Structure 1
Amino acid sequence: MTQGVHLSTYAYIDRWMLYVTRNGVKKLKLNMTKDGVVPKRLPCTLNCLWHLDLDVNFNKLGQTSYTLELIKSFPNLRELEIWDKTTDDIVEGVMKYLDTPACLDKTLNKLEDVSIHSFNYSKVVLSFVKLLFAHGSSLSRMSIYPDKASSSKEELNVATELMRFPRVSPKAELIYHQMKSWIKGRMMLLYSQRILLKKEISWRNMLTLVVPLLNMLLQQ
């Protein structure tokens, strides 16, 4: 596994990807948070690679778009780890980009396991997760690791939004690792029931949200 690679120039990344191709590298870690030019696309497709580990600042359109280009360029990618380096949520340009069909125009047939580390509750990262749910036909697990503890209400709102995202894979499950205690889980469950009833959501629709929440708690 190669670590500490910074995407700073086109020439450098071209030479480095050629090395990856010739040597059959299967695991790759890239840091895209350093200053420098982020190339718009890879010079080749890498069939050998199945594990990708990225540091990404989703505030930066270049880093966000290149992350998706990387994912599309690895047809046998099975495991994806993202370290969220986003610092704020003022990213209208990135949000508009993630809403365009062209940003991810193919099905991710091999992607099975995704982990988002240091998640800071930003909307742009939620949109990125939604995109992977919508295109990961073989996705089995989406693990979210928050950067810091938050209020039960905020966690519930985020977890509820995550659970509502459409999933193309029938076996895709969401694991939210901040939920650690049964007491906290019980409070969140009662709060969700109160909110859902207040919004006059049917019992059947409520169960589609509450049952996955219970499943996440059981896995902690």
Structure 2
Amino acid sequence: MSLVFFSLLDFLNCIIDNHKRRFVTPAEEDRISQLPDNLTNLILERLPIQDAVRTSILSTNWRYKWTTIGSLVLDKNFSEKFARNGAFGLNGFIRTVNQLFNYLKGPILKVYLYIPNMFLDSFQEVDQWIFSVSKGHLFVAENISNLLPNKANSLKILKIVNINFGDMDQLQGALCMLRNSPNLEQLHMMNSQMSQHLRFDVTPALRYLEASNCLGQTLIQLKTIEITRVDGSRPVLLFIKLLLAHSHTLEKLSIQPNVTDVHQRLNIAKHVMQFPRASSKAELLYLNP
């Protein structure tokens, strides 16, 4: 199966790359056009989104095939490329992402979205994107502040990258998503590498995390938690403590520190192991940096 799949994928890429140099022969067009829709979607979902869109030039039959994909990956390379054109300008980041969501017809089951570091007047667009995928299972974002809470009801997998646990806006955004995700089963978080190099007052975040009603809800479906780039700072440790105290069905907690000093790594492990766990069967995995 894998050999056949990659053969078809390579064949599709070959047609796209050579389209401008020659016409596709009827035999080639028939071979790729007669594939079942589910296999076509699998191929398109594994292509970079730019290449998937380019398949619309193959023929009339292929013009709208890419619009039915259920998985959309807008990674760092994609986002930063269009961010160079600004947010709302021609081929700008916001405008391009909006166009992609508007073209997609079927249910969106998975979205990977990297939001570049750029100035935005508000996060209204991000709210709208979350609304677009509110019936899906995965949302990924770098900046999670000001996300509308009622958009997370159907989330089963949540991945948040580059979160600064000492930043009140980002911290409140993350906890807001958790409070309003009753069906969440997997949580993946990546600590921001920049947070340890920036000097800012983390006192409000610490007070917020230490409050008895900080989360205010039991995570009744959460089974897997993965947190990477753990630097041992107090906000990060308190956040882990909070999750352990509210995850009654937790089966596995994976932690990957980003410190190489042996004593620092042991100190992080010591703190985490001493935190009370709501789930008696929760397994702790401490990964190498």
Q: Give TM-score scaled by structure 1 length.
A: 0.71
Once the two structures are superposed, the pairs formed by residues 132-151 of structure 1 within 5 Å of their partners are 132-151=243-262
What does 1:41-120 align with in structure 2 at a 5 Å threshold?
Answer: 42-55=148-161, 56-85=163-192, 86-87=195-196, 91-120=202-231
Query: Residue 27 of structure 1 contacts residue 50 of structure 1 at CA under 8 Å; is this kept in 2?
Result: yes
Contact 1:4 1:30 in 2 (8 A): yes
Contact 2:252 2:282 in 1 (8 A): yes
Count of matched residue pairs: 171
Give the deviation of 1:20 after TM superposition.
1.4
Shift of 1:106: 0.6
Q: Which residue of 2 aligns with 1:203?
A: none
Q: Determine which structure has greater relative contact order: mean sequence separation of CA pairs < 8 Å that are 6+ residues apart, divided by chain length.
A: 1
CA distance change for structure 1 residues 6 and 73 in 2, over 3 Å: closer, same or farther? farther
CA offset digits 1:45-84 (Å, max 9, x no partner): 5333211110211121100111010111111111011010
1:44 match: secondary structure? helix
In the alignment, the residues of structure 2 paired with residue 178 and residue 5 of structure 1 have an alpha-carbon distance, to the nearest angstrom, of: 26
* Amino acid in structure 2 at the alignment position of 1:172: A
Counterpart AA for 1:11: Q
* SS of structure 1 residue aligned to 2:206: helix
**Alignment map for 1:66-215 (pairs within 5 Å):** 66-85=173-192, 86-87=195-196, 91-151=202-262, 153-178=263-288
8 Å Cα contact 2:149/2:176 also seen in 1: no
Write the deviation string for residues 104-160 of structure 1: whole angstroms up to 9, x where unpaired.
001000011001111111111000000000000111111001113122x22222211
Kindly indicate whether residue 128 of structure 2 is the aligned counterpart of residue 15 of structure 1.
yes
Partner of 1:117, secondary structure, is strand
Gaps in structure 1 of 5+ consecutive residues:
180-220
The match for 1:210 is: none
- 1:216 aligns with none
Report if the CA contact (8 A) 2:130-2:139 is conserved: no
Q: Is the 8 A contact 1:130 1:162 kept in 2?
A: yes
Mapped to 1, the partners of 2:280 and 2:172 lie a distance apart of 27
Q: Percent identity?
A: 30
Using a 3 Å threshold, how does the CA distance of structure 1 residues 97 and 18 change in structure 2: closer, same or farther?
same
Contact 2:257 2:265 in 1 (8 A): no
Instruction: Read off the aligned partner of 1:4 and give its amino acid letter.
Output: L
Structure 2 residues not aligned, in runs of 5+: 1-109
1:13-62 Cα shifts (integer Å, max 9, x gaps): 332222112xx2111111118xxxx31x6251533321111021112110
| Letter paired with 2:155 | L
**Is the Cα–Cα contact under 8 Å of residues 50 and 77 in structure 1 kept in the other structure?**
yes
